[in-house]
Structure 1
Amino acid sequence: MNAITDVRGNAGQRERQRIRTGVFTGPTSGLASGNVQANLVILPKALAHDFLRFAQANPKPCPVLAVSEAGDPHFPTLGADLDIRTDLPLYRVWQHGELISEPTDVRDVWRDDLVSFAIGCSFSFEEALVEDGIDVRHITRGSNVPMYRTNIPCVPAGAFSGPLVVSMRPMKPADAIRAVQITTRFPSVHGAPVHLGFPASIGIANIDKPDYGDAVPIGADEMPVFWACGVTPQAVIAQVKPEFCITHAPGSMLITDLRNTSLAAL
């Protein structure tokens, strides 16, 4: 049996049903423990090839888990009942780089030329951190992970270019070292951190004011640890200004039937 048929009908499917029916509307961090979560980017077919090239050139922020056929609102490799249009708690709809709405489903704006990309999410490796006894602050506080635009440029490809976005988790130095070791095993969900400490050196002027998500406290004996983030395409979209695009709202992920353990490289 493969990684999906082993877990169909599992917590992932149940959480998607709760999201689809509006029972759950919050951030998905910590939901369906053990199941892979994914960022979402949906673009017109005319831009899909360029975005795939962009993702391949930037595998840390944009590790591609699945790509749909044009107009098909399903990812059969990620979940048998999964519907891209309804199964995230909150979406973002963009026109010419401007955010125009944040609906709870996108059936009314769906088009036959849309291609969907599921991109690995750091929420997946958080399970391994928690199991190792590392405090993941936004989970402990029940909030969204803080995310920041940086001054690190992504590798451009075709129409797409823009800054790297990072997510941050404060940790004591010993835990940060262990977190590097643990997350290195998960390249499909951003892998090891891209930066430790010194937020100003990557263009973050105020660590207490994230560009996306919620601020979390950093103890005097802790350092900020930064991972490449799947919100990067949204910063790119704001810069490139495609005529139409749909993404997840930061923190509102697609819960799949894949198991986090199936993505471990070692």
Structure 2
Amino acid sequence: MNQPIAHASLAPATPFRTAADARRAIRSGAWTGHTVGLAPANVQGNLMILPADLAGDFLRFCQANPKPCPLLGVSEPGSRRLPALGLDLDLATDAPGYRVFEHGELTAEVPDLEAIWRDDFVTFVIGCSFSFEEALLAAGVPLRHVAEGRNVAMYTTAIPTTAAGPFHGPLVVSMRPMKAADAIRAIQITGRLPAVHGAPVHIGDPSLIGIADIAAPDFGDPVAILPDEMPVFWACGVTPQAVAMAAKPALCVTHAPGLMLITDLLNRDLAFV
């Protein structure tokens, strides 16, 4: 399932002034790469799009699994709009890439959903770890994949999610290598951000959560782990893709890993104290 993901070079600062500018560039095809570092003050979201007859079960799945699936918004059936996340936002065009699953099999990767959109589609927007990275960087916690312009490394684990209706499957995690002091600070910072996955779910030995080869992520790009660093793992919004492969619904659509929906919500508004 490790699929190649297109990259655009990542400048130190976002090339877009606002989230709306980024969405327009994505919608027009001017930006086709991953969204790490784009509109860094804004909340990014994972997508799960399902026929309406499965939406209730998936809502219960999200409620039962808030770490990998913290909900930011749910659309009305057939609507491509979610005004609470952006007045001009179009759910069918504003992620740089989408994946189509049929009966658990990945059958297509497409730049937009214009040709396949249905009147019964319900879209779930799920919090993304890219949003807490702004807070980590502001606190001086280095993130190697951001510095190198790479997509974050993501892995399918042996940790099961809590089933709801037909939805079940393994937890997917994202990994960032950190020195011990930075890991402690990252736990403190992300623990205040449950809307974008919250605190890590595991630190250290990847084999303890079923990851056989840390150098070979299932999604995203590998990054080096230096001798004085440890891998730190967060629950990841790519989990619904692993769930789609396990539950095998007749049809569902997700974002492509690392190619997120950028909303008008601000990261600073997500924290609780």
- What 5-or-longer segments of structure 2 have no aligned partner? 1-15
Secondary structure at 1:127 match in 2 = helix
Q: Residue in 2 aligned with 1:3?
A: none
- Determine whether 1:41 maps to 2:38: no
Secondary structure at the counterpart of residue 107 of structure 1: coil
The TM-score, its normalising length taken from structure 1, stands at 0.96
Alpha-carbon distance, 1:137 to partner: 1.2
- Quick check: 1:10–1:257 contact (8 Å CA) kept in 2? no
CA distance in 1, matches of 2:158, 2:251: 26
**The one of 71, 79, 84 aligned to 1:72:** 79
Structure 2 counterpart of 1:112: 119
* Match among 173, 180, 185 for residue 178 of structure 1: 185
**Would the aligned equivalents of 1:164 and 1:232 in 2 still touch at CA under 8 Å?**
yes
State how 1:15-30 maps to structure 2 within 5 Å. Answer: 15-30=22-37
CA–CA separation in structure 2 for the residues paired with 1:137 and 1:203: 23
Gaps of 5+ in 1: 1-8
Q: Are 2:253 and 1:246 equivalent residues in the alignment?
A: yes
Question: How far has the Cα of 1:94 moved from its partner?
Answer: 1.0
Q: Within 2, Cα distance between the matches of 1:240 and 1:156?
A: 10
2:89 matched residue in structure 1: 82
- When normalised by structure 2's length, the TM-score is 0.93
1:1-51 deviations in whole A, cap 9, x for unaligned? xxxxxxxx9610000000000110111010001000000000000100000
1:176-215 → structure 2 map (5 Å cutoff): 176-215=183-222
* Cα drift, residue 140 of structure 1: 0.7
The answer to whether structure 1 residue 147 and structure 2 residue 157 are counterparts is no
Q: Partners in 2 of 1:137 and 1:189 — Cα distance? A: 20
Question: Counterpart in 2 of 1:265?
Answer: 272
The equivalent of 2:18 in structure 1 is 11
1:163 alignment partner, one of 166, 170, 177: 170
1:170 is matched by which residue type in structure 2? P
Alignment-mate amino acid for residue 255 of structure 1: I
Percent same amino acid at aligned positions? 63
1:128 and 2:135 correspond: yes
CA contact (8 A) 1:121 1:189 kept: yes
What do residues 165-201 of structure 1 show as CA deviations (whole Å, max 9, x unaligned)? 0000000000000000000110000000000001000
